[in-house]
């Protein structure tokens, strides 16, 4: 790697590599130590092409979710089988991996700016800004930046745009899928809301079982499938379709926030 080589967003890759290494060392015990993460689907990660892959996931904290994915994806690429044991996998991290995040969130502090440099694609939310509801048009530059990132590598997105469960998915995700035709890989996570505070920076509870299930890529007809059809397919895939609420026992819903509750529902 050249000393001054940069990615399409102008970030120095050597600096980015060391930031990812440092953040991985600092955060590793959050998923294998203070808490335990159960992983399924690392073999799927190894089968994916190096570019134009879109990971679509439910969302539980601002940062802990995506940091866990950086750990799991890099560990999987290094041959770990559903495990993040031995941190050596982060020595040569995948540098063309990005995640979509709200621009206002990524500008709030030095830490968030560091996290942004490590891989965020900052976008302006069209429905929420500084804690208030808004209604503004999508910025074409935001869509273009996501396309640039897909062309360069992998992108992680949380289409609900909120850490609140069961919220509808934003249709912008289906527009991105139809426009750029990426391989779409669903990811379902749990336990992070119980482990961390809302931002995912502070450990709230220890001894929590976290889980991450990486599913097979979705079969999508990019040309003929409607935006609504794609959104519905995503909702089922990441287990956030409203129908799930009808089959989850009331007792389990009431216990959703209780500490150390294992996932009991799988698709």
In a structure prediction context, what are the per-residue pLDDT tens digits for the chain, which is 267 residues long? 567 899 999 999 999 999 999 999 999 999 999 999 999 999 999 999 999 999 999 999 999 999 999 999 999 999 999 999 999 999 999 999 999 988 777 777 888 889 999 999 988 765 454 554 544 555 667 889 999 999 999 999 999 888 888 788 988 899 999 999 999 999 999 999 999 998 888 999 999 999 999 999 999 999 999 999 999 999 999 998 887 776 555 555 555 545 444 433 333
Q: Which of 110, 134, 106, 133 is nearest to 122 (CA)?
A: 106
Q: What is the pLDDT of residue 246?
A: 63
Q: What is the pLDDT of residue 1?
A: 57
Q: What is the pLDDT of residue 174?
A: 93
Q: How many residues does the chain have?
A: 267
Give the start-end residues of each E strand in 69-223: 97-102, 120-123, 128-129, 132-133, 154-157, 183-190, 209-214
Radius of gyration of the CA atoms of the chain, in A: 18
Q: Which of 17, 33, 102, 92 is nearest to 66 (CA)?
A: 102
Phi, psi angles (nearest 5°) of residue 224: -110, -20
Report yes or no: 59 and 65 within 8 Å, Cβ to Cβ: yes
Distance CA 23, CA 35 (A): 17
């Amino acid at each position: 790697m050249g000393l001054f080589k940069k990615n399409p967003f102008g970030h120095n890759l050597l600096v980015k590599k060391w930031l990812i290494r440092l953040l991985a060392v600092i955060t590793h015990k959050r998923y294998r130590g203070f808490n335990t993460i159960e992983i399924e689907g690392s073999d799927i990660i190894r089968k994916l092409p190096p570019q134009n892959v879109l990971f679509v996931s439910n969302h539980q904290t601002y940062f802990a979710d995506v940091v866990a994915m950086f750990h799991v994806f890099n560990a999987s690429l290094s041959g770990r089988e559903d495990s993040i044991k031995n941190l050596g996998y982060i020595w040569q991290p995948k540098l063309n991996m990005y995640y979509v995040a709200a621009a206002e969130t990524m500008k709030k502090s030095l830490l968030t700016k560091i996290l942004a440099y490590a891989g965020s694609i900052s976008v302006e939310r069209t429905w929420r800004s500084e804690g208030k509801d808004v209604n503004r048009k999508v910025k074409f530059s935001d869509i273009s930046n996501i396309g640039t990132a897909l062309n360069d590598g992998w992108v992680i997105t949380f289409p609900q745009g909120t850490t609140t469960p069961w919220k509808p998915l934003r249709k912008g995700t289906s527009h991105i899928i139809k426009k750029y035709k990426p391989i779409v890989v669903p990811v379902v996570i749990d336990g992070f809301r119980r482990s961390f505070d809302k931002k995912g920076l502070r450990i709230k509870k220890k001894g929590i079982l976290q889980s991450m299930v990486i599913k097979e890529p979705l079969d999508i007809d990019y040309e003929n499938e409607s935006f609504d059809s794609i959104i519905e397919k995503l909702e089922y895939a990441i287990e956030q379709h409203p129908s799930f609420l009808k089959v989850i026992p009331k007792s389990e819903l009431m216990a959703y926030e209780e500490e150390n509750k294992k996932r009991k529902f799988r698709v």
